[in-house]
């Protein structure tokens, strides 16, 4: 039996079981994605902060794929990603607990503030 990883890690969190479009009210709340889904970011705004987490359990490592999709005119910058508009950050069949935190820069998109696990950029 694998190790269970707490979904909230002493942070405010919300379990997400399917596709979700984030809004300003989701800023600062960990989006704990428990089934493969696409999380869509709003248009960038200064200082909005989103953490998207692979919410699989230790028993389901490799079962959950998380796509984080910016608005068409925005990009996700950092983590070694080549800058390009409208390209997702993807945690393909990652491990429970993998997460990415993004901060809105208000002009070109989202800056990667931190990352745990393997996240790639959409081709």
The three-state DSSP-derived secondary structure of 6-66 is: CCCCCCCEEEECCCEECCHHHCCCEEEECCCEEEECCCCCCCCEEEEEECCCHHHCCCCCE
Per-residue confidence (pLDDT) for residue 94, from 0 to 100: 80
Position 9 pLDDT exceeds 60: no
Which CATH number is associated with domain 13-118? 2.60.120
Which tens digits make up the pLDDT trace of 27-58?
A: 999 999 999 999 999 999 999 999 999 998 76
pTM: 0.89
How would you label 69-93 residue by residue, b for 16+ Cβ within 10 Å and e otherwise? bbeeebbbbbbebeeeeebbbbbeb
Which tens digits make up the pLDDT trace of 63-107?
A: 899 999 999 999 999 999 988 999 999 998 788 899 999 999 999
The better pLDDT of the pair 2, 30 is held by 30
Domain spans in the chain, listed from the N-terminal domain onward: 13-118
Q: Edge-to-edge, what's the strand order for the sheet holding 75-77? A: 13-16, 30-33, 49-54, 99-104, 109-116, 75-77
Q: Any idea which residue has 């945690």 for tokens?
A: 91
SS3 67: strand
């Amino acid at each position: 039996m694998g190790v269970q990883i707490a979904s909230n890690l002493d942070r405010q969190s919300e379990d997400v079981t399917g596709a979700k479009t984030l809004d300003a009210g989701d800023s600062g709340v960990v989006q704990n994605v428990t089934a493969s889904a696409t999380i869509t970011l709003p248009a960038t705004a200064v200082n909005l902060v989103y953490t998207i987490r692979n919410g699989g359990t230790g028993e389901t490592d490799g079962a959950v794929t998380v796509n984080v999709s910016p608005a068409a005119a925005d990009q996700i910058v950092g983590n070694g990603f080549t800058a390009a508009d409208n390209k997702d950050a993807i945690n393909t069949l990652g491990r429970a607990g993998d997460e990415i935190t993004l901060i809105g820069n208000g002009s070109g998109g989202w800056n990667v503030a931190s990352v745990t696990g393997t996240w790639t950029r959409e081709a």
